[in-house]
Structure 1
Amino acid sequence: MRRRALLALTLLPAVAQAQPTTIRLVIAFPPGGSTDILGRLLAPRMAARLGALVTPENRSGAGGAVASGHVAHSAPDGGTLLLDSGGQAVNPALMRGLGFDYARDLAPVTLLATLPLLLVARPGFGVGDLPALVERLRADPRHARYGSVGVGSRTHIAAAALLRRAGVAGEHVPYRGGADQVQGMLRGDVPFGFTSLALAAPLLADGRLRALGVSTATRAAALPEVKTIAEQGLPGFAHGDWVALLVPTGTPEAAIARLAEAAAEAMGEVEIAPRLAAIGLQPEARGPAHLAGFLAEERALMARIIAEEDIRLD
């Protein structure tokens, strides 16, 4: 009996340190956007460092809430990772009856990257920069219809804030993801809107969309010729997006630290730097404590903006 007890004690460290051999990377958005592209760049690089198979899995819907809820209810064993963006800050102030709590049920691993949003328009709309867009909308408010990837999304909030600053009353048209939003612009449903650089880049290259401005305080390295919104008459305007990793609350701290370290090392690989820059991603992997503080600030800011803009789901 004593031998069995001693054997059990010697096995405890190995059991406590056991890591999953397969890790699901749940991506909160559909294929093709910045979040998905980053997830698929990240998965094999994290796998090499963790000694586990990391499998990307898209679970889109409700501004990231579908994926967040799924991960929140997953086993906290280090085998499920959530790759999400700014909805982590917006949805708590906007959505009710989710069945989980963002702050209580999800634990931060690390911020991965920040990224700008790009204000774009159809070339046929006849505007080439922000002042021309504002002039056109003031002259004919019927054209003040803009698309986004959903109510309360960063693309929605950025456009609503832009029109408010410009003194224009706009009509919001939500779509089911960035690809649908861009197709809506190309069809002529809406003449303009904010989107990601990843989705806009090929359409800018072939002339099907025109870049009018960058949402962040500094210009995008991939499009240095495109002025920021702030440079074009709206000083202080800055509405970007970001991408982060989270896990179910209760995941061991050692597992979180290991995941954060693997993600930071993967984001620092020289070979992927040009691919990240091409879609506007600026690496920012600084661990769980930094992400916890960042989320607290972002959630407070988004709650204030949502209240000011009277953004509602109904």
Structure 2
Amino acid sequence: MLTRRAAALALLATPAVAQSRSVRVVVPFAAGGVIDVVARILAEPLGRELGQTVVIENMPGAGSVIGARAVARAQPDGNTLLLSGAAHAVIPALYPDAGVDPVADFAPVALLGQQPFVVAVHPSLPAQDVPGFLEWLRGKAGQARFATTGIGAASHLAGELLKQLAGVEFEVIPYRGTPQAVTDLVAGRVDFMIDSQTLIAPLMADNRVRGLAVTTSVPSALLPQLPTLQAAGVRGYESASWQALYAPAATPAPVMERLSNATRAALSDANLLRRYAEAGVQPLPSAAVPFIAAEQARWLPILRATGARGG
């Protein structure tokens, strides 16, 4: 029979209570995009609630697969987490042999937030509004160039939804990260993109891009002058960038409860909410599991219909 001391030492050695000085949060995209922005806003208040330092590690590549795989294979002790978005939900469509399942291999900790995308065009385009833009796209007969932060990323999915609902075609130009895509849009090497209002709003203010609409069903508080795509004539259109925090699937229930409680507390932090508002990020109070399941059910058929595969 174990002595009380031996039993205590054995318990401390289990993943259920293992705690290092730091928590590694893997962001499976390059720095500079909205998911990275949310991760860095969350890091300080989450670390304070956990009593640990939260370290953000960007691990881009193969869509979001490389980062997701690293977290799925990590020790399930609460010290390695994944912060990702819509791309995580569509891994099976793009990378059927990825060796990682976005549902079976992960336990959602919490939804973190969502943000409207902006349809933004280079100022050289003649389109001044959404109807004019759609007319211009149809005239280009599939030759317009659409920048996205990667096949399967939320920005790409937003573009594919526009194709489907507006009956337009265009060439998809994938980039390794948002900053590279924005650079090429400003330079006129691509015609338009659908991406974070945090990144697009300053470019609009400097007249380096022209914003035409937001992608959510209600107007943006950050850019109230822009109509929604629905109001501008694309019936049924709604998409947004959302972010969620995940742990490896085998993470014990007490650890998951600790992570969930700490994340909820961090999301109510006044400074975090202020920084969210400045970045145009809205809290997302929905329950994580049904929300993510619904997003996967929504986007997988759209992506599979394109025949797209991850490179």
TM-score range, shorter chain: over 0.9
What TM-score comes out, normalization by structure 2 length? 0.92
Match for residue 224 of structure 1? 224
List aligned pairs for 1:256-295, cutoff 5 A: 256-285=256-285, 290-295=287-292
Cα distance in 2, alignment partners of residues 22 and 45 from structure 1: 14
Match for residue 110 of structure 1? 110
Q: Does 1:46 find its partner at 2:43? A: no
Match for residue 212 of structure 2? 212
Helix, strand or coil for the counterpart of 2:150?
coil
Letter aligned with residue 42 of structure 2: L
What TM-score comes out, normalization by structure 1 length? 0.92
Q: How far did 1:167 drift? A: 2.4
Match for residue 148 of structure 2? 148
Q: How far did 1:229 drift? A: 0.4
Cα distance in 1, alignment partners of residues 28 and 8 from structure 2: 41
Going from structure 1 to structure 2, the CA distance change for 1:187 and 1:105 (only over 3 Å counts) comes to same
Percent pairwise identity: 35
Letter aligned with residue 43 of structure 1: A
CA contact (8 A) 1:130 1:229 kept: yes
Letter aligned with residue 196 of structure 2: S
Cα distance in 2, alignment partners of residues 110 and 311 from structure 1: 29
Cα distance in 1, alignment partners of residues 244 and 182 from structure 2: 24
**Where does the alignment leave 5 or more consecutive residues of structure 1 unmatched?**
none
Going from structure 1 to structure 2, the CA distance change for 1:75 and 1:285 (only over 3 Å counts) comes to farther
Count of aligned residue pairs for this structure pair: 309
List aligned pairs for 1:159-178, cutoff 5 A: 159-178=159-178
Match for residue 304 of structure 2? 307
CA contact (8 A) 1:219 1:227 kept: yes
Q: How far did 1:263 drift? A: 1.4
List aligned pairs for 1:22-33, cutoff 5 A: 22-33=22-33
Cα distance in 2, alignment partners of residues 6 and 150 from structure 1: 54
Runs of at least 4 residues of structure 1 off by over 4 A?
Answer: 10-16
- Give RMSD over aligned pairs: 2.0
Q: How far did 1:71 drift? A: 0.5
1:154-189 Cα shifts (integer Å, max 9, x gaps): 212211221332222221111111111111212222
Which of 5, 14, 22 is the matching residue for 1:7?
Answer: 5
Letter aligned with residue 126 of structure 2: G
CA contact (8 A) 2:142 2:169 kept: no
**Where does the alignment leave 5 or more consecutive residues of structure 2 unmatched?**
none
Q: How far did 1:18 drift? A: 4.4
